[in-house]
Structure 1
Amino acid sequence: MDRTMDRMRSIDRTGRKSGRHLEDHPFVVKGRKGAFVGVPLPGDGLYFAVDIPGVRGDDVEVLANEHQVKFYAEVKNVYEHDEGGGRVYLGCVYSRSSSSDPPPPSILTQRVGYDAEFGVLKIVIAPRPNNTSSQ
């Protein structure tokens, strides 16, 4: 069996990556090689970026619920000679690292912002506000 296929299957089983099309780009010399990046922020915040080549900012939806942020992006056919129905990118970010972890507080208590430009969707889940006030 091909080692690449074996690696993709093991990634799928762990649940860390949700699809078979998430391999690092072999020709990128500088910058990030993967199709996505996630960086934890202090206070349960998260910065997440995913490549969505060809998608305009108006064709992106980001929805948050109690414990996940979902995104949907679609490449619309701009010209009548474009073939097919366009590409669709979708996914979600969960607020807990594994299914055995206790459910964290709702994401809805945090601000969720996003921006899509130059083929990259950037999502920021702001850190939770402190309940203590300092004066």
Structure 2
Amino acid sequence: MTLAYPGGSITAARGNLEQTFALSGATSSYCQAVTESISRTGHSRVNKIGGTSTSVKATTFSVKKYSTSRSSQAAAGQAVEVLTGVGSYTARVSGSLQALMAYVCSIENSVFDYVTVVSQQGTIYGPVGPSTAPTP
């Protein structure tokens, strides 16, 4: 299962992610999108060398940016170890670990128990968790 968050995603066995992040069924939506405004300035265009110039008007529009992750296994992100109150597991993180920790901190009161993330280099992030952990 892949859990997308702003700036990246984490991939691990479904049960591990559901238990760690206290997800129940469809709580995690992949349809969340960030609306981005795009502005293009006016300019002139020549379609044929030596041809006449055509004016292109300035425009502004909005697009929705949905979460993505890399599809090849070679670019699956860095392996991390996730330590929880009931055990540990290996996951792959695309994007920065700072983005992952920002996401975990934003939902710290809804995670099952304290979560610590250990990078491949041995950097320890956390623990992050609720003030009172829910009972299983």
Greater C-alpha Rg = 2
TM-score, normalised to structure 1's length? Answer: 0.22
